[in-house]
Amino acid sequence: MKIVNRNEELLRDALSRIPQSSSRTSLSSCNKLIRFEDISAAAFKIQCGVQKTPCMYSRLSKQYGMDIYLKKEFLQYTGSVKERGVLYLLTSLPQDQQRKGVIVASDSNFSMAVAYHASELRIPVFVIMSTSTSPARVKMCREYGAMVISYGTTAKDSQTHARRLAQENGYLYLEEEDSAVYLSGLGTVGLEVYEQVPKLDAVIFPAGGHCGLLAGSAAALKHLNPHISVIGVESESFPVLQQSLKAGHPIEDQACSNHDFYGDVSGLCFGSNSLQLTGNLVDKVVAVREEDIFISMLRLLEYERATVDADGAIGLAALVAGKLPELKGKRVAIVICSGNLELHLLQQCIARALTLDNRVCRFSLVLSDCPGDISKLLEILAREEARVLDIKQERTFVTSELFTVEVTCTVETRDKIHRAQLRNTLLERYPTAAWTER
């Protein structure tokens, strides 16, 4: 958490209440501000304000050859793990600042958590959003109890306006970063996973531009059992954590996208504290493709009835992509950290995932325009147990011989093998059939 302008002054009291001595030199050597005692204190303080989410055995275990336990942080009230760090930060602020209020400038999971918990604590809270923010996000933030102000066409405009309001009115402007208080709150996930799943071999976290959850939880897990592997997963499109670890300091990936799908996966929101903790305590960081994230979202929806976003699905995506073969036969926990995805994006993602997973395919062929020919095609599809999702006929612009019709079918198949069988059967009957490649 980055406290702009008056950071040291406002958090001095909060940090002074955190014990400063520690017998674990491994943690103090990599970050003097966050230790296991800090995380334990955070867990005690926020226990009545956030959900102790379940960490449940998954039906996906057999498919990937390991015992998989899913830590369902998307079940938090605002659908995100960020509530843990936000609540601990807000309760640690001096009372005079709580009376004056706080202000944020984004439509991220972090801002949603600030809006909800500040309202619950009766702290005045203001959220500045650009005019391009989706109406659903604006509505939700207002329902949490925040005063939402639309300003500017870009996120930078909103941030500038929020800073000005903070300076003029004495509000505390908050930006997600990696203060000791915020990391300690996020680190409580590691405590709960260790308590809920005995004999753990590894825990997988989302990483990328927001690695506070990974860093804070690693501090807890490595204190409790240094033999537990802590693994971070980020997108191949935005490998900012791997690049920063290699460079030895936080760097900004110029290729980061502002697309709503990526959310917390992209961008740079960690500082030297998170990076140093990650470099010292995290065993491995891997990167996955966008396609693997899509399929991971599909698996979680089908097997767990869990509707999650890219940040929530990226941990499982590492198993989908086969990036962690060393975990076969092991007991593994995966943190599903958030489930805030716009409905229209969810629909697009699942449709794309079904195609990538060889579950939906499309082909075109030319038939004579005679009664019964299309019926024969449908009989073949029924015999092959392919479900027809859509069928279109084109007569006007067919370039082949007269009295023919071009038929384009979209069908649902079980898997890659079923798709190949259907394709072979159709090519035997219709040698000119053309398949649309994904």
Q: What is the torsional sign of CA 63, 68, 74, 76? A: positive
Measured between alpha carbons, how far is 357 from 412 in angstroms, rounded to an integer?
11
Contact 67, 197 (CB under 8 A): no
Domains and CATH numbers, the chain: 32-252+262-357 (3.40.50.1100), 359-436 (3.30.70.260)
Q: Which of 142-151, 238-247, 293-302, 341-350 has the lowest mean pLDDT?
A: 238-247
Is residue 20 scored above 50 in pLDDT?
no
pLDDT at 130: 92
> pLDDT tens-digit profile of 157-177?
999 999 999 999 999 999 888
pLDDT at 39: 97
Measured between alpha carbons, how far is 68 from 70 in angstroms, rounded to an integer?
7
> pLDDT tens-digit profile of 261-317?
766 655 555 678 888 899 999 999 999 999 999 999 999 999 999 999 999 999 999
Contact 34, 190 (CB under 8 A): no
pLDDT at 263: 65
Contact 362, 412 (CB under 8 A): no
Measured between alpha carbons, how far is 188 from 289 in angstroms, rounded to an integer?
29
Residue 26's contacts (CB-CB under 8 Å, 6 or more residues apart) are 222, 280
pLDDT band at residue 229 under the 50/70/90 scheme:
very high
**What is the percent of the chain with per-residue pLDDT over 90, rounded to a whole number?**
71
pLDDT at 106: 86
pLDDT band at residue 178 under the 50/70/90 scheme:
confident
Coil/strand/helix, residue 410: strand
pLDDT at 145: 94
> pLDDT tens-digit profile of 380-406?
999 999 999 999 998 877 766 778 889
pLDDT at 394: 87
